[in-house]
Amino acid sequence: MGNLDLLLQGFGDALTPTYLLYALAGVTIGTAVGVLPGIGPAMTVALLLPITFTLDPTGAFIMFAGIYYGGMYGGSTTSILLNTPGEASSIVTALEGNQMARAGRGAAALATAAIGSFVAGTLATILLTLLAPQVADLAVKLGPQDYFALMILAFLTVSAVLGASLVRGLASLLIGLSLGLIGIDALTGQARLTLGIAQLADGVDVVVVAVGLFAVGEALWVSSRLRHAPAQLLPAAGPWMTRDDLRRSWKPWLRGTALGFPFGTLPAGGAEIPTFLSYATEKRLSHHPEEFGHGAIEGVAGPEAANNAAAAGVLVPLLTLGLPTSATAAVLLAAFQQYGLQPGPALFETNSDLVWALLASLYIGNVLLLVLNLPLVGLWVRLLRIPRPYLYAGILMFAALGSYTINLSAVDVALLFVIGALGFVMRRYGWPVGPAVVGLILGPVAEQQLRRALAISQGDVSTLWSTAFSATVLAVCAVVIAAPLILRAIRRSPTPDEVHR
Amino acid sequence: MSQATTDRRGLTEILPAGLLVLVGIYMIVDGHSLRTPPTEGAIGPRFFPYVVGVALVVVGIWLAVAVWRGDRAEPEAGEDVDTEATTHWGTLAALAGLMVLYVLILDPVGYLLSTIGLFAGTAYTLGARNPRSLVAVSLLAPFVTFIVFTRLLGVYLPNGILQAVI
């Protein structure tokens, strides 16, 4: 019961007026920025990092938890009411939610998304609270070779899952790893890849890269082919959820949670896969399969729940192992590092107060978000009308501000814009940017663990698969590499025939 | 849009793929200049640059070959992206110019004035043409940000030539 006491103590911390205010500010800003078109959750967190720099760590992370969950809620509003699909993880919500809004049932779609997010978010946060301390207890026993194997797995799955093309995912990952190598080598004090530029000796700041790739890259990409007629905005019209809607929604909420949470905890790219799975499940189980594609409420309820449950699930490996499994989690990890905190099993020992206050604030944030989203949805919808030139000018302004405040140096702003240009090129050719951020953050840690493992074994490479855990994880890695190749080989052989008929 | 033109347009992806190969080679060369102290055991500071460098070369060539054979990925979608449009190079050039200018004047001229310039320039480039709202928003947004960050959050931002006034 020790954990329950710790959680109650966390609530005690998180419910103080100051922290409650931070939580409220976090969810409000998170929702507002998440609603803005073109801004996904990863970009929301990256852009808002500088706001929290002046707070104490606990306050900052309470605010972050709010921004993180708020960004998830806000995204659904965008995908339901704008008649163009946004980023990949909200495509599924857009499928049915958009159709519902077109049929004049926008209000019901928004309501089932918001309540589903609340139900899933709360259940998943309970699971997180139960699971995380257990995982942390196990993780304490892991050696450097185990961590190294886990990171290889994360590299592979993130490259394979985020984005449609494996080779482009790997290219993005390697860009991140290269950026991570820049700077003074921690163990020998030698400069690597600094091109003789003094400011690069400390390495490239993760926040600058994340903001550059997500915010500036996106702004440049959108600017290069901006719609001249802005996307049509559908009204949040129609009756609120009816009794029938509720009857049809509650099971998808629960099933979505059950799919989303475990997938979130795996190093497999976060929310995209479970939302697709949830959609497929609901379509199969529905009594009204003919409505799918024309605005079936189950198709909004399930994936939205899965999305939010996955968001909580992602926090399990992040907090207990220091392993980010999605782009957003990678940015959150960067936030921890800004405060000199390294998420991992030790965090539960050394910063127990902070961790439990953070977990408690997740519950509070969910309640606040339900309150903010149900009655106030009309207010958020207005944000969708912001004229695009001002929106993207504002994104650039904020991105530059954030990078400047890290070291109070215009060099970082220059670096930001250079990385933004890189982000533009990557978007232009469909290279996913998520793996780059994960590679940048995990690369140096992976190198450290590898060198530590080999130093302990005095250079014996077999140490890398010497424990049952590391051997299992590396075997999974092999499957991850081999499976698509085998599948492709099987699929390729019969196709030419089929095409001709 | 015919298949042939799409294919030819996508071929420019070979350029970034080639760049990966070059970066990889540079990384191997740079890694070669590092010294491994005897205390470091097996691999030392060279190992990771070597691995990443070789991987960059391999993936770069792999990607270039795939592109040559007609492999294309969807460019990223987005709410405001017109997937039918071609790249507006003029817009990008103007934004790049604004960014370079911003980096150069940020410290000497000060945060407020340079940011007003960046904001107004970006908004105008992206099509904000109503003079009254362009001026109002471009003055207001940077000003509010400046006040919130310097006065409320206590972040330092350069005053520049407005030093005497602010």
pLDDT in tens, B115-134: 999 999 999 999 889 999 99
Chain B 20-79, residues with CB within 8 Å of chain A CB atoms? 20, 23, 27, 30-31, 34-37, 40-45, 47-49, 52, 55-56, 59-60, 62-63, 66, 71-79
Residue in A119, A99, A101, A102 with CA at minimum distance from that of residue A110:
A101
Q: Residue-wise pLDDT tens for chain A (501 aa)?
A: 478 888 898 898 888 999 999 999 999 988 988 888 777 778 888 888 877 777 888 888 889 889 888 888 888 888 888 866 555 566 777 778 888 888 888 888 888 989 999 999 999 999 999 999 889 888 888 999 999 999 999 888 888 877 678 899 999 999 999 999 998 887 778 888 888 787 788 888 888 998 899 899 989 998 998 876 666 777 777 777 888 888 888 999 999 999 999 988 887 666 778 888 888 888 888 888 888 888 888 988 999 899 899 999 999 999 998 888 888 888 888 888 888 888 888 888 888 888 999 999 999 999 999 988 888 888 888 888 888 899 999 999 999 998 898 888 899 999 999 999 999 999 999 898 889 988 998 898 899 889 888 888 887 888 889 999 999 999 998 888 887 777 777 766 554 444 443
Q: How far apart are CA A310 and CA A304, in angstroms?
A: 10
* Residue B115 at interface with chain A, using a CB cutoff of 8 Å: yes
- Which candidate from B10, B71, B78 shows the least CB-CB separation from A222? B78
Q: Are A443 and A177 in contact (CB under 8 A)?
A: yes
Q: Which residue of B has its CA nearest to A79?
A: B79
Q: Are A259 and A277 in contact (CB under 8 A)?
A: yes
Residues of chain B contacting residue A442, judged by C-beta atoms under 8 Å apart: none
Q: How far apart are CA B47 and CA A338, in angstroms?
A: 27
Q: How many interchain CB pairs under 8 A, A with B? A: 234
Q: Are A159 and B63 in contact (CB under 8 A)?
A: no
The structure's pTM equals 0.88
Q: How far apart are CA A421 and CA B93, in angstroms?
A: 11
Cα A164 → chain centroid:
17
Q: Which residue of B has its CA nearest to A36?
A: B79
Instruction: Show the tokens assigned to A329.
Output: 């989690």
Q: Which residue of B has its CA nearest to A406?
A: B155
Q: Which amino acid is at A335?
A: A
Q: How far apart are CA A369 and CA A394, in angstroms?
A: 25
Q: Please, which residues have CB within 8 angstroms of residue B121's CB and are 6 or more apart in sequence?
A: B94, B98
Q: Which residue of A has its CA nearest to B39?
A: A455
Residues of chain A contacting residue B92, judged by C-beta atoms under 8 Å apart: 220, 223-224, 424
- Dihedral, CA atoms, A131, A134, A138, A139, nearest 10 degrees? 60
